[in-house]
C-alpha cells in the first residue's frame, strides 16, 4: 500500500532534507501535492515531483486533496493552524520542530491529536544522528553504567537563515519563531536530555543577547535541567566565532566525550576504552539530511500498523513546556518546578 501525502512549506528544510528523503521512500510514500507561497520554491518542488499538484496556499491544498498524511515544514507560527486542520480531517502528521510557539498552543495541539487518534511525529531527528546512535548504543551496553550528568555546548555564528524566496530572517522574528535559540536549537536539547534521564523536575536558566541585538530575542542561553535520575547542563549560543558542538556524559561507571570528529569512551580513572569517528560532525550541516531517513521510516512504520503511539506527542509537548519554563526562569531569576 502506498500512502498519499502532501508537504506544506517548500523552504530550506523541505528542499534539503524532507523531499530528498521522500524521494528515497517513494515506493511506499506517494507525495501528491505541495504548497508554498514562493514561486521559486514551487518550481523546485515540481522538478523533484513532476506529477505532484502545486498550490500557493496550504489551506487550498488541504481543502482540495484527499490524503493519508501531511508533512508540515512551515515556520512555527503556522503549525497550530495546520495541525488542527490536518487532524480534523484524519490525516497523519509529520511536523518540523518546534511544535508551535507557546505552551498554550501545544496543549491545544495535544488535545486535537488525541481526539483525532492520528499518527503524529515531530522532527526530532537528532536522536538518529550517528553521534547519538553511538551514545545510546554504549549506554545500552552498560559501558558507563547509569547516566548521571550530561553537558552540551552548542556554538553558532548566528541564527540559520531561512529560505531567500520568503523571509530569510524568520527565525529572529518572535511573531513567527516564538523565541530565540531556546526554541530553535534548545528544542533538540530538551528531548535529548529527556531521553537520557526522563522528564525534568526543575528548570533554571539565564538568557542574554551577546552579539545580535538586532534580533530582539536571546542569542545565548544556559539551561540547567534537574531530573529524577540525573542532570543536564545546556549552553547554546548564536554569538560564537565558529560552528561547533561538544558533549560530555558521565555515568556511574564511565564517561563519554563527544567532539565534532569523534567519541571517546573512558572509565572513571580516565583510561581510554574505545574511540568512534565520523565523517560528518554535529555542526557541519544545518539540514542533516541523512538523519531524516530513519525518522521518516519510523513515521511510515506507524502508519502501516495504524497504532497510535502517544510517546512522540508527549515528547513534543514536553519540549514546549521546557521552553516555556526556561523563559519563565530567566524572567523571574529563579528555578521553576516542572509541572
Q: Are 227 and 198 in contact (CB under 8 A)?
A: yes
Sequence-separated (6 or more) residues with CB below 8 Å from residue 113? 83, 87, 93, 120, 313
Question: Do 3-125+292-308 and 126-283+319-337 have matching folds?
Answer: no
What are the residue boundaries of the structural domains of the chain, listed by start? 3-125+292-308, 126-283+319-337
Confidence of residue 284 (pLDDT cuts 50, 70, 90): confident
Per-residue pLDDT at 286 exceeds 80? no
If you average pLDDT over every residue of the chain, what do you get? 96
Per-residue pLDDT at 189 exceeds 80? yes
Mean pLDDT on 296-312: 94
Q: Are 260 and 244 in contact (CB under 8 A)?
A: yes
Sequence-separated (6 or more) residues with CB below 8 Å from residue 95? 71, 72, 79, 83, 120, 121, 122, 123, 316
* Nearest alpha carbon to residue 21 among 287, 282, 279, 280: 287
Q: Give me the pLDDT at residue 20, please.
A: 96
pLDDT in tens, 90-137: 999 999 999 999 999 999 999 999 999 999 999 999 999 999 999 999
Q: How many CB atoms lie within 10 A of CB 277?
A: 10
Per-residue pLDDT at 78 exceeds 80? yes
Q: Give me the pLDDT at residue 290, please.
A: 86
pLDDT in tens, 139-156: 999 999 999 999 999 999
What's phi and psi for 130, nearest 5 deg? -55, -35
Mean pLDDT on 172-192: 97
Per-residue pLDDT at 311 exceeds 80? yes
CATH of region 126-283+319-337: 3.30.360.10
Q: How many CB atoms lie within 10 A of CB 333?
A: 9
Mean pLDDT on 218-236: 97
User: The cell 502528521 sits on which residue?
Assistant: 93
Mean pLDDT on 174-187: 97
Q: Which CATH superfamily is domain 3-125+292-308 in?
A: NAD(P)-binding Rossmann-like Domain (3.40.50.720)
Per-residue pLDDT at 25 exceeds 80? yes
Determine if the peptide bond prior to 98 is cis (ω within 30°): yes
pTM listed for this prediction? 0.96
Amino acid at each position: 500500500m502506498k500512502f498519499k501525502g502532501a508537504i506544506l512549506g517548500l523552504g530550506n528544510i523541505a528542499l534539503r532534507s524532507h523531499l530528498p528523503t521522500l524521494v528515497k521512500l517513494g515506493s511506499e510514500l506517494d507525495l501528491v501535492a505541495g504548497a508554498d507561497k514562493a514561486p521559486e520554491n514551487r518550481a523546485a518542488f515540481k522538478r523533484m515531483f513532476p506529477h505532484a499538484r502545486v498550490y500557493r496556499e496550504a489551506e487550498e491544498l488541504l481543502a482540495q486533496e484527499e490524503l493519508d498524511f501531511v508533512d508540515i515544514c512551515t515556520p512555527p507560527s503556522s503549525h497550530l493552524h495546520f495541525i488542527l486542520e490536518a487532524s480534523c480531517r484524519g490525516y497523519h502528521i509529520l511536523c518540523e520542530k518546534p511544535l508551535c510557539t507557546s505552551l498554550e498552543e501545544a496543549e491545544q495541539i495535544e488535545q486535537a491529536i488525541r481526539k483525532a487518534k492520528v499518527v503524529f511525529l515531530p522532527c526530532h531527528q537528532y536522536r538518529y544522528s550517528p553521534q547519538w546512535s553511538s551514545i545510546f548504543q554504549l549506554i545500552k551496553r552498560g559501558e558507563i553504567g547509569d547516566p548521571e550528568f550530561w553537558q552540551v555546548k552548542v556554538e553558532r555564528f548566528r541564527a540559520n537563515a531561512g529560505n531567500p524566496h520568503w523571509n530569510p530572517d524568520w527565525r529572529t522574528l518572535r511573531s513567527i519563531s516564538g523565541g530565540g535559540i531556546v526554541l530553535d536549537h534548545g528544542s533538540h536539547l530538551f528531548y535529548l536530555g529527556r531521553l537520557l534521564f526522563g522528564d525534568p523536575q526543575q528548570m533554571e536558566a539565564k538568557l542574554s543577547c551577546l552579539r545580535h541585538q538586532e534580533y530582539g530575542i536571546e542569542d545565548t542561553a544556559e539551561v540547567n535541567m534537574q531530573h529524577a535520575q540525573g542532570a543536564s547542563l545546556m549552553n547554546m549560543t548564536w554569538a560564537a566565532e565558529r560552528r561547533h558542538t561538544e558533549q560530555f556524559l558521565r555515568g556511574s561507571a564511565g564517561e563519554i566525550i563527544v567532539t565534532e570528529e569523534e567519541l571517546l569512551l573512558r572509565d572513571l580513572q580516565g583510561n581510554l576504552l574505545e574511540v568512534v569517528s565520523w565523517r560528518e560532525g554535529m555542526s557541519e550541516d544545518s539540514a542533516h539530511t541523512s538523519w531524516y531517513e530513519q525518522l521518516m521510516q519510523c513515521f511510515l512504520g506507524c502508519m502501516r500498523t495504524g497504532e497510535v503511539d502517544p510517546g512522540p506527542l508527549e515528547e513534543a509537548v514536553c519540549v514546549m513546556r521546557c521552553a516555556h519554563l526556561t523563559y519563565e526562569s530567566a524572567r523571574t531569576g529563579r528555578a521553576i518546578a516542572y509541572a
